Amino acid sequence: MSDQFRVVFVGFNADTDSQNAMESLATKLGVSKQKVIAFTQGKPLFGATDKNKCLKQAKLLAIYGFQSKVQPQQSNMQSAPVANNAANERVFEALDYITSSLIRIEEKLEELEQRIDGNEKSGDEKEEEQWQSDELFDELDLDTEPKPKSKKLLYVLLAILFILLIILGFSLAFPEMVQF
């Protein structure tokens, strides 16, 4: 196993506007500005990797006006809890996203049910208002019963929920096997 290195923030170039540099870097990397600000306060922006990749990362930072240095990573025993915390953070973010998605789906289902119930009630009211015109329909043989409501969408959503919960449980039980 090769040595691990990490890019560490040192400062900004003298002619660099720190706010513009942070915004530009956040846009380039596709991360939030808060993560770049945390990088300027000593938190890592990139994961530990080999020296060549760290040098490329340092060059990228230099393009945007950041001064940085490549620092050897401490022993794996100390970096394991940090990696585990990062993995736990990603799992909790994923769980939060899944939960909020399920809440939105549930709200949409309730909305659809209310619309369907509203349409049925308005149809019943119209029938009661037009009771005199029912004589025309007496001649027709209309013994068909309405189809029951399909719960296929609900079952599909429940199946997706169970699959996501199984994946989440698997990732919590075996975090070293699941990489996000």
The answer to whether residue 38 scores a pLDDT higher than 70 is yes
Count of residues for the chain?
180
The reported pLDDT for the residue numbered 1 is 46
Q: Which residue has better confidence, 163 or 71?
A: 163
The reported pLDDT for the residue numbered 125 is 60
110: left (phi over 0), alpha (psi -120 to 50) or beta: alpha
- On whether the CB atoms of residues 28 and 64 are closer than 8 A, the answer is yes
The DSSP line for the chain is: ----EEEEEEEE-TT--HHHHHHHHHHHHT--HHHHHHHHTT--SS--B-HHHHHHHHHHHHHTTEEEEEEE---HHHHHHHHHHHHHHHHHHHHHHHHHHHHHHHHHHHHHHHHHHHHHHHHHHHHHHTGGGGHHHHTS---PPPPPPP-HHHHHHHHHHHHHHHHHHHHHH-TTT---
d(CA 108, CA 106): 5
Q: Which residue has better confidence, 171 or 143?
A: 171
Query: Over pLDDT 90: what percentage of the chain?
Result: 7
The arithmetic mean of pLDDT across residues 38-63, rounded, is 87
The answer to whether residue 158 scores a pLDDT higher than 90 is yes
Per-residue pLDDT tens digits for 119-147: 776 666 655 555 555 665 566 655 666 67
CA-closest candidate to residue 42, choices 11, 82, 84, 13 = 11
Per-residue pLDDT tens digits for 81-106: 666 888 888 888 888 888 888 888 98
Q: Which residue has better confidence, 76 or 156?
A: 156
The amino acid at residue 166 is I
Assigned token pair, 137: 């329909």
φ and ψ of 9, to 5 deg:
-70, 135
Domain locations along the chain: 5-73, 80-126+149-173
d(CA 122, CA 128): 10
The amino acid at residue 27 is T
Could you tell me which CATH class the domain 5-73 is placed in?
Answer: alpha beta
Q: Which residue has better confidence, 173 or 150?
A: 173
Count of Cβ atoms closer than 10 Å to residue 166 Cβ:
10
Q: How confident is the model at residue 118 (pLDDT cuts 50, 70, 90)?
A: confident
